[in-house]
Amino acid sequence: MWLGPEEVLLAGALWVTERANPFFLLQRRRGHGKGGGLTGLLVGTLDVVLDSSARVAPYRILHQTQDSQVYWAVACGSSRKEITKHWEWLENNLLQTLSIFDNEEDITTFVKGKIHGIIAEENKNEQPQSEEDPGKFKEAELKMRKQFGMPEVEKLVNYYSCSYWKGRVPRQGWLYLTVNHLCFYSFLLGKEVTLVIQWVDVTQLEKNATLLFPECIKVNTRDNELYFSMFLNINETFKLMEQLANIAMRQLLDNESFLQDKSLPKPRKPLKNISALKRDLDARAKNECYRATFRLPKDECLDGHTDCTLWTPFNKMHIPGQMFVSNNYICFASKAEEACHLIIPLREVTIVEKADSSSVLPSPLSISTKSKMTFFFANLKDRDFLVQRISDFLQRTPSKKPCSSDREWKWNLADPGCEEVPELPSSSPLAVSPTSALSNRPVSFCAGEVPTASQGLLKLFRRNSEELLGPKGAKEKMKEESWNIHFFEYGRGMCMYRTAKTRELVQKGIPENLRGELWLLFSGAWNEMVTHPSYYADLVEKSMGKYNLATEEIERDLHRSMPEHPAFQNELGIAALRRVLTAYAFRNPTIGYCQAMNIVTSVLLLYCNEEEAFWLLVALCERMLPDYYNTRVVGALVDQGIFEELTREYLPQLSEKMQDLGVISTISLSWFLTLFLSVMPFESAVVIVDCFFYEGIKFILQVSLAILDANMEKLLQCCDEGEAMTILGRYLDNVVNRQSVSPPIPHLHALLTSGDDPPLEIDIFELIKTSYEKFSSLKADDIEQMRFKQRLKVIQSLEDTAKKSVVRAVSSDIGFSIEELEELYVVFKAKYLMSCYWGNNRAAAARRDQSLPYLEQYRIDMEQFKELFIGLTPWSCGAHTPVLAGRLFRLLDENRDSLINFKEFVTGMSGMYHGDLTEKLKVLYKLHLPPALNPEEAESALEATSYFTEDVTTEVSPFVSELDFCLHCESQETQEDKGRRNENGPEKEEKGTSPQDYRYYLRMWAKEKESKKETIKDLPKMSQTDAASCGCRRAH
């Protein structure tokens, strides 16, 4: 263990040095291990005779410097393994660092400080978690607030001992990670270092190792590159930093994240030295991983997991893995990847019972379901507790009768001998009568079939095809038979065993009769649909007859959605598409409607009924392709960045060429957003969709790499982007599905195939097979890690674009330079974000509307404006500064909503910094009139009147209008002017110092205000002066 550095005068007495370097010695006590002679025997005897408290550990590590005779004990160990671990840590983390120092005293001071930091962190982590005293963690939180000036609402998540590299010199100190900030403090050798970085300013976060920094964390902002190293547990620290930075990016991307993440769950019991936020963030990370692995609804929370084995009847084996239990599901994942995955919804469970233990099968547990399937788990560590938890959850699970009906319906639907569409049971949520609320018009029937709301459009619009009777029809029947055999062996429905065999069948193409069912199962949409039986119908009813921007865009795109397919050349298909898209727009106003959603949804409607298509769309937009379909298509841009990174890794020759041509950014959006449906023939693209619902985005990336790989030689010879796009477009147009039983649908991109040479056809199944052979090493976990890294880049890039857009929009009317405006924008945005972090209420978050122009998205209230005004204004008025700030705020707030945007803010600042004397007086004049005055300050108008019009003796009402006041001034001025002109001549009038000039301006401004209501935009362009540089210094 590590020791508080203790001075040792005789390093060689009773000890043998086993390892040494210029700064440390590893020693073994004589009498332990081999050899030692008589001295070793005496020492060993002495150690045995002494009581346990006086015994000396047999191994230790000493710190030394070359010219010093004093040694310092920094670690000891009871075994060679323990002391070797400490020795290796010192060599890997400190050795290169210490060689930088010139002064030996500095080396010793640094080592002692580092060891003390490690001991403090170990003590923090090893405290018993059952005690209620918050202990040192609360002490650290108070210290953090005092050191960095943070308010109480800023919560500390965790803190770590580490070194910050300032140049080539490490500064040993403490890293504090709070919900909104990364902070570091060090005081060493009389030098103090303080860092405060907002997570929203972090542009890159990496853990890497270099020659100078053995193992470090690099934190990049727009202005700085910071390195932190010498962590006791660098992986834990980096993971937490990733989580906090990710939350900050979500805050910038989606306004609701402020509300969601501002108050994290309270701990059930205070834990000593463990942050409740740290524990909850760890739980959140586990929940996200659990939901992604098993495609569960977004509100599902993991209760716990345990090691166990699962009996798999298809291969008569006990497979080791982990059981996961949550509120509504029991899941299993094998340790061997793809050996077996299992999802058991608690709504399907009928019996949970403990079986008799045996030496062969210890602690077995049996779970039976409504579909007559029984699952046997064994080797459970705490079976009784587990059964109790499952029983508790089962009691809370509502019984849903429609489940059995739906299950029965699905079995019948996929019956290989069933040629006709089955009749739906009336209890099913999928059965919809012709008078249902799902349609705002009479439901059309087609040839006596069931209405659109009850089944997929492909069944209604399937034309009599000879393919059904030929070789392709026989191939389709064989596929269906293969799946039926699979269902018999592995089970059917949500409780099916999912193995490598399942994936093989998906790669060969799902039969058309089973496509809708299996899409629902593999995506997890089935779970949400059966637990919300009337949700879609209610949503359609609520959205009927309502119009907004989303519905207008939907109407515009309805007839562009697969217009070549007969199902969407008919009002029946168009009406179904309209209802699904409109219902989703009302469910999720944040997304509303985005182009490409119509193409994907139209394909879903071909194989599913409306309700099923709706829930598949929910699964796509909210879980499988997160942030793809928002206004800025952030998710697609993130995965585009991943695609570029993977191209560099797997196709390095092509990567540089593609980068030069700028092709990847063009192709990836159309490929990813529509899942290849817009760039491939329909019969081929739908096979891509099959694999996507089973594998997720991993499959789309791997197919994209396979397409680039197949065209590498041609792409390397391209001269421009257009040529590369033509090559890829021609290739994709000729990806064919020779097994499809549907009549071919004309492809809109067929124009690209024109040429002298006949096109070479590529079989879709060969392309999929190649993608697995060459790029199957892609892992879902790695992709999620890469998504975090790319999300930082993409969102910060979008924020930079927003800043440039705002600055460009206001620069023409403002006296500040572009650089000054950018700095002011950063300050303005930071003040807005502070209100979101620390505001007493959550109204600040509601001010940002992503649908508004960039200029209107960040707005501040009067209190925030006062804080900025006091820090930036060149007009220092002492105690009256807040009053002046309040008046200026009311003057700038043209729409009277008690909020001002950035343009209004810099307009006020520009007047103070860059206006000439006349303009500044004009602003001051307006600050003494409504609307700058509040009702209580109306008396100020009277004082201003008295000051500027010396001879006015009549009492003016506090509510006198500007017109009355100005006319009175003008009449007085007219009489005085006549006398002065006769007396002094015209020369006197031109002097800018006489009171007459000020009265002239008052009269002129009053006339301006009466003739036209002036706004801030109407102010003349103010010339820049030398005060700009002064203002910039104040902004800093």
Query: Are the beta carbons of 640 and 669 closer than 8 angstroms?
Result: yes
Other Cβ atoms closer than 10 A to 900:
26
Amino acid symbol at 326: S
SS3 228: strand
Residue 736 and residue 681: Cα distance in Å, rounded?
Answer: 7
Amino acid symbol at 811: S
**Relative orientation angle of helices 902-914 and 881-892, to the nearest 10 degrees:** 120
Residue 155 and residue 157: Cα distance in Å, rounded?
Answer: 6
pLDDT at site 974: 44
**Alpha helices per DSSP H over 532-679:** 535-543, 549-557, 571-587, 597-607, 610-619, 634-650, 652-661, 664-673
Query: Are the beta carbons of 750 and 724 closer than 8 angstroms?
Result: no
Q: How far is residue 876 from each of residues 313, 1033, 1034, measured CA to CA in Å?
A: 82, 15, 12
pLDDT at site 128: 46
Residue 686 and residue 736: Cα distance in Å, rounded?
Answer: 11
Residue corresponding to tokens 């090893």: 126
Radius of gyration of the chain (CA): 37
Query: Are the beta carbons of 160 and 125 closer than 8 angstroms?
Result: no
C-alpha distance across the termini of the chain, in Å: 47
- What is the separation of C-alpha 630 from the centre of its chain, rounded to a whole number of angstroms? 13
Amino acid symbol at 189: L
Name 864's bridge partners. Answer: none
Contacts of residue 829, Cβ cutoff 8 Å, sequence gap at least 6: 803, 858
Query: Are the beta carbons of 192 and 186 closer than 8 angstroms?
Result: yes
Other Cβ atoms closer than 10 A to 195:
21
Residue corresponding to tokens 């029947």: 477
Query: Are the beta carbons of 598 and 818 closer than 8 angstroms?
Result: no
Query: Are the beta carbons of 172 and 120 closer than 8 angstroms?
Result: no
Strand bridging mode 317-326 / 302-312: antiparallel
Peptide bond into 931 cis (omega under 30): yes
pLDDT at site 255: 55
Contacts of residue 176, Cβ cutoff 8 Å, sequence gap at least 6: 140, 144, 148, 156, 159, 182, 183, 184, 185
SS3 745: coil
Query: Are the beta carbons of 111 and 63 closer than 8 angstroms?
Result: yes
Residue corresponding to tokens 């393994």: 81
Residue 743 and residue 760: Cα distance in Å, rounded?
Answer: 21
Residue 745 and residue 731: Cα distance in Å, rounded?
Answer: 17
Query: Are the beta carbons of 764 and 737 closer than 8 angstroms?
Result: yes
SS3 158: strand
- What is the separation of C-alpha 715 from the centre of its chain, rounded to a whole number of angstroms? 34
Residue 703 and residue 770: Cα distance in Å, rounded?
Answer: 8
pLDDT at site 569: 84
What predicted TM-score, i.e. pTM, was given to this entire model?
0.76
Query: Are the beta carbons of 1008 and 1001 closer than 8 angstroms?
Result: no
Query: Are the beta carbons of 454 and 434 closer than 8 angstroms?
Result: no
Q: Which long-range contacts (CB under 8 A, 24 or more apart) does 39-45 make?
A: 39/14, 43/14
Residue corresponding to tokens 């191209």: 647
Residue 66 carries which DSSP code? T
Q: How far is residue 768 from each of residues 213, 339, 636, 862, measured CA to CA in Å?
A: 43, 21, 22, 60
Q: What is the largest CA-CA distance in the chain?
A: 125
Residue 158 and residue 168: Cα distance in Å, rounded?
Answer: 27
SS3 221: strand
The string of DSSP codes covering 791-821 is HHHHHHHHHHHHHHHHHHHHHTT-SS-HHHH
User: Which two structure tokens, joined as six digits, stand for 685?
Assistant: 């693209």
Residues in the chain: 1036
Query: Are the beta carbons of 328 and 298 closer than 8 angstroms?
Result: no
Query: Are the beta carbons of 932 and 924 closer than 8 angstroms?
Result: no
Amino acid symbol at 247: I
Residue 866 and residue 896: Cα distance in Å, rounded?
Answer: 17
Residue corresponding to tokens 């108008």: 941
Beta strands in 449-594 (DSSP E): none
Residue 498 carries which DSSP code? B
Strand bridging mode 71-77 / 181-188: unpaired
Please name which of 549, 527, 528 lies closest in space to residue 539, comparing C-alpha atoms: 528
pLDDT at site 521: 95
Residue 183 and residue 52: Cα distance in Å, rounded?
Answer: 43
Please name which of 28, 9, 7 lies closest in space to residue 18, comparing C-alpha atoms: 28
Q: How far is residue 42 from each of residues 16, 78, 183, 411, measured CA to CA in Å?
A: 15, 19, 53, 83
Name 219's bridge partners. Answer: 205, 226
Give per-10-residue mean pLDDT for the chain (1036 aa): 80 79 86 54 42 59 83 86 89 83 85 86 60 62 87 87 84 90 85 90 86 80 89 89 90 58 43 67 88 92 92 91 94 88 94 85 90 92 90 81 38 35 34 34 34 68 61 86 94 93 93 93 94 92 87 90 84 91 92 90 94 95 90 89 93 87 81 91 93 94 95 90 89 89 62 58 94 90 90 90 87 82 88 72 53 77 86 78 85 84 86 82 81 68 57 41 43 47 45 50 60 48 41 41
pLDDT at site 50: 39
